[in-house]
Structure 1
Amino acid sequence: MNWLDRVPFPYLRNFEAAGRTGSFAEAAEELHLSPSAVSHSVRRLEEVIGLRLFHRSARDVELSPEGAVLLEYIQRAMEEMRRGFSILGNDEATPLRLHTAPSFATQWLLPRLSRFVKAYPNIDLRFSASADYGRFENGELDLDIVYGEPKPSPYETVPLVVEGLAPLCSAELAQTIEKPDDLLKHTLIQCDAQRFQWKGWFELNGLTPPVRYGLRFDRSAMAIAAAADGLGVVLESTLLAEREIKSGALVRPLTHVTRELQYIGHYLMYPKRLHYHYAFETFKNWLLSELGLETTEAPAPSSLTRR
């Protein structure tokens, strides 16, 4: 059955506002309607589709599991409509809104960003970073670069480059490290947010891991900076520490006598859409190219795609 033939659009709009705000009164104020009108349209929507979308009490309303699923899809559809109208009627470029894991942003992305800005000066980039996943539901985000394999979701998920975890330290400390046991003479720096820790590296190399560690951080960027300052040896991603390795601030002792842990640390996520705007395609392809991954050619900007 095609529910769209039976459901008036105002019912969907009113339901979306009520589900997003969690209040018929707030939705009514936003839509310039009365609370009873919003409540009535939601009730009629429930009758048409034969499902309860809200749990109601005397003081508030709460989405049912079915309502939460429907809300996500309606919000995605409304965002697509907003984008379509923006493309057809707005001469201003649509900004690219990117959320990313903090250490990936500071250690890998920002040092390369000047190349993107120079190549595409007309693309408006807007960044945010946090350890939490970005939220696509409200239509205020285009791409998310996350650390760790994401949970199953309705979004596209692209695994990025394989990263290697290796001991890294200052050149001065490296002169005192000739064999794996020499690591135990130094402070071992650990990032608690790292998927694999020192314990896994020692076990991979057939060694007994130490009982305690000298320094622990909750961000890779801080752990890398501590090692570059000579505070100890860090087990970190050579991808995230690439700038420090190239500059000589960090070196890799034991390269030829030990194995490094390898895994996919970061993933690219974005909503599934039939069409993506020019800035989205351009940045995505640039990102994959910088990581040495296969890309598809970005569309040339035109009156319809340059946004």
Structure 2
Amino acid sequence: MNTFRKVPLPFVRIFEAAGRSLSFAAAAQELNLTPSAVSHSIRKLEEMIAVKLFQRSTREVRLTREGMQLLEHVQRGIDEMQRGFAIVTNEARSPLRLHSAPSFATQWLLPRLASFVREYPDIDLQVSASTEYARFDDDFDLDIVYGDPRSSPHESIPLAVEGLAPLCSPELARQIRSPQDLYRLPLIQCAVQRFQWKGWFEANELAAPAHYGLRFDRSSMAIAAAVDGLGVVLESTLMAERELAAGKLVRPLSGTREVKYIGHYLAYPRRQHHHEGFETFRGWLLGQLGLADGPQPQ
């Protein structure tokens, strides 16, 4: 028999309050119980699952390692139940939770979100950005990841084929007539990019320079540095689309070979039921990238 099915739900609620406050007295006050009732319930829960959840002393209670693990999962479950009740009772509109690689969010997504908000005002969108992978079990509905997604049971859709090319300010471009001119100019690299300047020089049958001017850990920072005239950046023309369209960046060596690759993927869990705005956002995103009838999930 599943262990959880044996545990009375009031015990779970008491454990969460006690674990969160690290105080049986505070949990008792919150739940309108006596401290002895809280202590008794915790002890019964530990006996049922045969796991010690708290270290007790005369002055304090502390969660054991197992207790901390259980508390994390219980709190996730409570959050999901609260979301469910809010949805079915129309208490509050549940947001569609999107996670994205930081530079994709800054450089490509944010400039286009106004059109999504105008077209779909009934969908609340919550956007977070970090280099970590999304955890679909508790935090997010979709994830835009940079690079090949790690092996997982989730669906993944390759997004646009991106081309890496030398980009710089119009002023700096006046000094560039051939690839050899790059050897005497500061070169900007994004340290987390899959392909670096070395790969671009090799693709164009040139020797890679011995050193570079600046390195950043975000494409958005590398692009901003190039806009400010600090050097020539090797960057995705998709990520720098806005700066290229505005004339803040130009491509001085248009006749050279681009390094092409799929830079980003859309990942999401295989579920029978998704957020009500899931299909709408997914379709909008692929449509913006010209992939409305494009790649199928992998």
Task: Evaluate the alpha carbon distance shift between residue 149 and residue 244 of structure 1 in structure 2; reply closer, same or farther with a 3 A threshold.
Answer: same
Q: 1:187 & 1:46 partners in 2: Cα distance?
A: 63
| Structure 2 residue aligned with 1:64 | 65
Any residues of structure 2 matched to 1:180-219 within 5 Å, and which?
180-219=179-218
Shift of 1:91: 5.4
State how far apart, in whole Å, the 2-side matches of 1:16 and 1:148 are: 38
Deviation at 1:168, TM superposition (A): 1.3
Distance change >3 Å, CA 63–CA 135, structure 1 → 2? farther
Question: What is the match of residue 283 of structure 1?
Answer: 281
Alignment of 1:257-272 (within 5 A): 257-265=256-264, 267-268=266-267
Question: Bigger CA drift: 93-102 or 103-112?
Answer: 93-102
Alignment of 1:166-181 (within 5 A): 166-181=165-180
- 1:48 — aligned with what? 48
> Structure 1 residue 242 and structure 2 residue 241: aligned?
yes
Match in the other structure for 1:300: none
Q: Which whole-Å CA distance do the structure 1 matches of 2:211 and 2:54 have between them? A: 50
Q: What amino acid is the match of 2:103? A: S
- Cα distance, 1:119 vs structure 2: 0.6
How much has 1:108 moved relative to structure 2? 0.6
> Which one is further off, 238-247 or 171-180?
171-180
Q: Which letter maps to 1:240?
A: M
Q: Distance in 1 between matches of 2:168 and 2:21?
A: 51
TM-score (structure 2 length as normaliser): 0.76
| Unaligned ranges ≥5, structure 2 | none
CA contact (8 A) 2:155 2:270 kept: no
1:224 aligns with 2:223: yes
Normalised TM-score (structure 1): 0.74
**1:204–1:261 CA contact under 8 A, matched in 2:** no
Coordinate RMSD, CA, aligned: 3.6
Alignment of 1:11-160 (within 5 A): 11-18=11-18, 21=20, 23-25=22-24, 27-28=27-28, 30-34=30-34, 36-50=36-50, 52=51, 54=53, 56=55, 58=57, 59-64=60-65, 68=69, 70-71=70-71, 73-90=73-90, 92-131=92-131, 141-148=140-147, 156=154, 158-160=156-158
Greater Cα offset, 160-169 or 201-210: 201-210
| Cα offsets for 1:80-135 (capped at 9, x unmatched) | 43233212212543233444343222211111112111111222334444555666
Partner of 1:299: none
Count of matched residue positions in the alignment of Structure 1 and Structure 2: 290
| Cα distance between partner residues in 1 of 2:52 and 2:207 | 56
* 3-state SS in 2 of match to 1:278: coil
Answering whether residue 7 of structure 2 is matched by residue 7 of structure 1, we say yes
Q: 1:118 to 1:229 in 2, by over 3 A?
A: same
Three-state SS of the structure 2 residue aligned to 1:165 is strand
Letter in 1 for 2:63: E
Matched letter for residue 177 of structure 1:
I
Identity score, percent? 56
